[in-house]
Structure 1
Amino acid sequence: MTIEFKRSWADEDIALFRDNVARFVENEVQRHDEAARKAGNVGLDVWRKAGELGLLCTDIPEAYGGGGGDFRHEAVIHEELARRGLTGMNTSVHSIVAHYLLNHGTEAQKRHYLPRLASGELVGAIAMTEPGAGSDLQGMRTRAELSGDHYVVNGAKTFISNGFLAGLIMLVVKTDPGQRSRGTSILIVETKDLAGFRVGRVLDKMGLKAQDTSELFFDDVQVPRDRLLGGVEGQGFYQMMSDLPYERLFIGVTALACMEGAYASTVAHVRDRKAFGRAIAEFQNTKFKLAEIATQIQVGRAFIDQCIAQQLRGELDTVTASMAKLWASEAQGRVVDECVQLFGGYGYMNEYLVARMYTDARIQRIFGGTNEIMKEVISRAI
């Protein structure tokens, strides 16, 4: 008997969609993953192909060029990538950019940018973090000063996912440095041929080797006034906070899928690998460890599926999403570590999936708000 980790939200249509996603992932992403890991990015072609197949912005209404689906479709894409350890396409950031526009943009902004994100013409990035600021978004220094019909932007951002390939950046700036959260705004920045904009080095990370993460620099960059997200200054902090549950649920979804992928890979390995004349899977320690891992995944699946159901109803709140991010990312670290141990020396080799998953998993406890911040958010509700 093989343990199945069933999704309570899956139906026949979702199963068919998953088959299409799996084919794309295997043919267009997995096949080129080694090259992407060496280059530090997946290139733009794979984004264009995903757009052609309707695999970008799947939960954006068709009226804006999206797939007209819901969060389940986004979850499927993230799961199929994560369970294979494929990190090059950061579709979560891309989707969050689309939701910033959908939830907070003007009608003109939605119609101009959402179809281009859905087609893969533009790859989306969010530029929040700055050198020296970290999780303290209120301490950012990137400044946007209004001059006639343009904002003049000066500053630097770092750790920007999709930063190297990004054609569209949601840039978090200070429009009124005298205010704290109320002095923060978001500018929609299209990067092509943009004077004063510069992409710095693609950062050399411990994990996520196929995913481009870059520094960005803005030197007297002019951004038209109508590119202010929502058209009203001082709304940036609210806009970011309102979309955090969506972002943190993505982290929970990918964590569970990674755990499932690591578990499946480990089961196959211990059944095939022999020590002292018998399969490793026959040893009691191996069986007990796999039992513990399977139980953690089943428990996590129940919670994450509950969060997905709340998201579908529009009821997922920041505290619950923070719990999902906290628990799932911590469990992911424990599970993948145990899987590496069961692989033995092979688990330390990058040619094996669990080795790559091990280094990739570490960032899950940091981005989307560190797990220490998650505890702070949760504790305020107690």
Structure 2
Amino acid sequence: MLDIQKIRADFPILTQKVNGKPLVYFDNGATTQKPQVVIDAIAKYYQEINANIHRGVHTLSQLATDAYEESRKKIQNHINAKFAHEVLFTSGTTHGINAVTNGFASILKPGDEILVSALEHHSNIVPWQMLCERTGAILRVIPMNTDGELIMAEYDKLLSDKTKVVTVNHISNALGTINPVKYMIDKAHEVGAAVLIDGAQAVPHLKPDVQELDCDFYVFSGHKLCGPTGTGILYGKEEWLNKLPPYQGGGEMIKEVSFEKTTYAELPHKFEAGTPNIAGGIALGTAVDYMNEVGFENIQQQEKELLEYGTQQLLTIEGLKIYGTAKEKTSVISFNIDGIHPYDIGTIIDKLGIAVRTGHHCAQPIMNFFEIPGTIRASFAFYNTKEEIDSLVAAVKRAQNMLA
């Protein structure tokens, strides 16, 4: 069991007031808050070892390089990658997906098919659409049901020898659905397709084991994992990373350069052009350490209780409907109240110090499926409490009375 008050003391922002009320932060699906150790790690880099990496023989450069590469190893161990050079630093999930789609532009041909799920964030839709426009490949959509679950029977039918890529999120940002990604990966590999898993919403809640999953690519953002913004990871199997061309050209990613020809560096540097977010990369390793110290079993237990309690309490509100009732889901509750626009609820409860997300959550196809403009999304983290959920319920009831 977690000592929640002790955990909350690790996060400076949770003690502040918003609009004169104690902050209740339920927008963890957008970004998680940062523990003091992560904030300190950023400050320490700039105060003590600020230097560029991989390039200098001087002491500070070597210290910075060691700290950055140590973070890469931490993340390798965290996701159980086979090699450290399969772990690439990016600016976030979007960067990772675009790096992969750019690489597949040299592989796909007209008539090839890419399967994407109906539950995707725009970041895992638009880059693939752009790739199809460039290559003549065809985008196919794995459908969902009214519970917010992907229909596996339809997925099985869509798979064929034309399928070259399957891309799906591990957990839906809009509904909290946990997708059966292991099954989907195994079935995709039966037809020879590569699989990219968008783990942006999964990594705050679970430890992905990329070797057990056997995915070809796994991408996530550091800021969803109590780490800094502007950081992320693209994991790729060595064979695929060697096969794909680099996403960007510049310093660091080269072996030799002449005006006649350039040869590329070995992994991981081939995909890490230019000076990276060094402080962010180091602090991401600190965030991973912190989350593992808390313990993902403890995190899952706490968030399961919050999801169950939050669902029970919110459903006491007359006219409230929850979207996303999958059998397997994480601590996200997307809901609306009859006759009231979600934006209006969100605006009023913000005045009471409660932060939720309103709108389509960069998942417009999901909202179109349900024929709604958007939802109110309360996304819980392990540092949230049942008392905060009580505050949310009271605030929503107050807003409902004001808007009725």
Higher RCO (C-alpha under 8 Å, 6+ residues apart): 2
- Give the TM-score taking structure 1 as reference length: 0.25
Q: Which has a greater percent of helix? A: 1
- Give the TM-score taking structure 2 as reference length: 0.24
